[in-house]
Amino acid sequence: MTALLEGRTAIVTGAAQGIGLAIATTLVGHGARVTIADLDGAKAEAAAAAIGPAARGVACDVTSEESVAALVAGAVAEYGGLDVIVNNAGITRDASLKKMTLENFRAVITVHLQGTWLGIRAASEVMREAKRGSIINISSMSGKSGNPGQTNYSAAKAGIVGMTKAAAKELAHHGVRVNAIQPGLIRTPMTEAMTPEAYAATEATIPMRRAGEPEEIANVVAFLASDLSSYMTGAVLEVSGGRGM
Ligand code: NAD
């Protein structure tokens, strides 16, 4: 039996660590060749070297139009095409409305919304020509339910849902599918920055009574990246252990 993603090529942004790294590792495990893109280029290269020859690491700032254009052009030049992009890069700048600065707000909106939009636009140009492709955007349950201290992040992650559906409607007849995933609480460096009290309080609200592992998001990405999900577009999949259903 051939591997699920044999012959496919993918880009994963923000993939030097956490969920993105698990996604890149899983896609390679299913037979894809993957470009690991991250703000931290050295870390992206080290991650790719650890995965093996089917991965390459590059520096990319998803907020920069030039950087994202170079990322997509480089992946196409290296692998001869682009079948999958996972817009995963993200940051948090949590604060109450009382304490959040405009800079905190803008930074989060820019990385998530502008970054995802630039990724969708650049990748879809290549995919539209090829008449096939799968774009996967990483939203969050915060975008569905809203989290106190995350007015910036919740807005950005809800925005990714609207962007996913609009792009899905534009690109469906070109053979390009666009879907989103809303992870719940996942154990990564991002959530390790939470206080133990906040982490425990969040875990207690999860029906499955545990945080998820990055691989549990990566497996759903592999499904959306592959032909197993060939009739799905504009879908938003909650991967949250039941939290926020
Ligand atoms: P993380 O902080 O562990 O990793 C994020 C990566 O993105 C880092 O390697 C970072 O260098 C990179 N990055 C940040 N800004 C960038 C930029 N401008 N250009 C390129 N790369 C950039 O985070 P994570 O927990 O692995 O989260 C990955 C994604 O999943 C994010 O979009 C996050 O919002 C989302 N998410 C995470 C959780 C969770 O519980 N961890 C839950 C829901 C959604």
> What would the pLDDT profile of 141-198 be if each residue is shown by its tens digit?
999 999 999 999 999 999 999 999 999 999 999 999 999 999 999 999 889 888 899 8
With a 6 Å cutoff on the Cβ, whether 20 touches ligand 1 is yes
Question: Which atom of ligand 1 lies closest to the CA of 139?
Answer: 44
CA–centroid distance, residue 26 to ligand 1 (Å): 17
17 lines ligand 1 (CB under 6 A): yes
CA 174 to centroid of ligand 1, rounded, Å: 29
CA 111 to ligand 1: nearest atom: 18
Buried/exposed code over 215-244 (b: 16+ C-beta within 10 A; e: otherwise): ebbbebbbbbbbeebeeebbbbbbbbbebb
Residue 1 included in any domain: no
Q: What is the mean pLDDT of residues 35-49?
A: 98
Dihedral pair phi/psi, residue 239, rounded to 5°: -125, 85
Q: 225 phi and psi, to 5 degrees? A: -75, -25
Residue 137 Cβ < 6 Å to ligand 1 = no
Whole-number Å distance, alpha carbon 91 to ligand 1 midpoint, is 5
Q: How far is the C-alpha of 36 from the C-alpha of 57, rounded, in Å?
A: 5
Separation of CA 64 and ligand 1 centre (Å): 16
Mean pLDDT for 81-87 is: 99
Q: Is 199 a catalytic residue?
A: no
- With a cut of 90, say whether residue 138 has pLDDT above it: yes
Q: How far is CA 163 from CA 89, 100, 132, 160, in A?
A: 16, 25, 19, 5
Atom of ligand 1 nearest to the CA of 61: 19
So what's the pLDDT on residue 100? 98
Q: How far is CA 150 from CA 72, 99, 117, 195, in A?
A: 31, 11, 21, 15
CB atoms under 10 Å from CB of 44, counted, come to 29
3-18: pLDDT as tens digits: 999 999 999 999 999 9
Q: What is the CATH number of the domain that holds 37?
A: 3.40.50.720
Task: Give dist(CA 227, CA 5) in Å, integer.
Answer: 9
Q: Is residue 82 part of a domain?
A: yes
Residue 2 maps to a domain: no
Residue 67 CA: which ligand 1 atom is closest?
19
Write down the pTM of the prediction. Answer: 0.98
Q: What residue numbers bound the domain in which 66 lies? A: 9-233
- Residue 18 in contact with ligand 1 by CB distance below 6 A: yes
| Residue 4 lies inside a defined structural domain of this protein | no
* pLDDT value at residue 194: 86
Nearest CA to ligand 1 atom 7: 14
The pLDDT confidence band at residue 1, using thresholds 50, 70 and 90, is confident
- Which neighbouring-strand residues pair with 167? none
Looking at the structure of the chain, the number of domains it has is 1
Range 165-171 contact pairs with CB under 8 angstroms and sequence separation of 24 or more: 165/234, 167/120, 167/124, 167/135, 168/233, 168/234, 169/234, 171/124, 171/127, 171/128, 171/133, 171/135, 171/233
Residue 196, domain member (yes or no)? yes
In a domain, 242, yes or no: no
User: Does residue 241 form part of some domain?
Assistant: no
Query: Would the CA dihedral through 97, 104, 192, 17 be positive or negative?
Result: positive
Residue type, 96: S
- What gap in Å lies between CA 54 and CA 48, rounded to an integer? 8
Euclidean distance between CA atoms 197 and 26, whole angstroms: 31
Tens of pLDDT along 100-109? 999 999 999 9
Residue 243 lies inside a defined structural domain of this protein:
no
Give the pLDDT of residue 56.
98
Q: Which residue has the tokens 């339910």?
A: 145
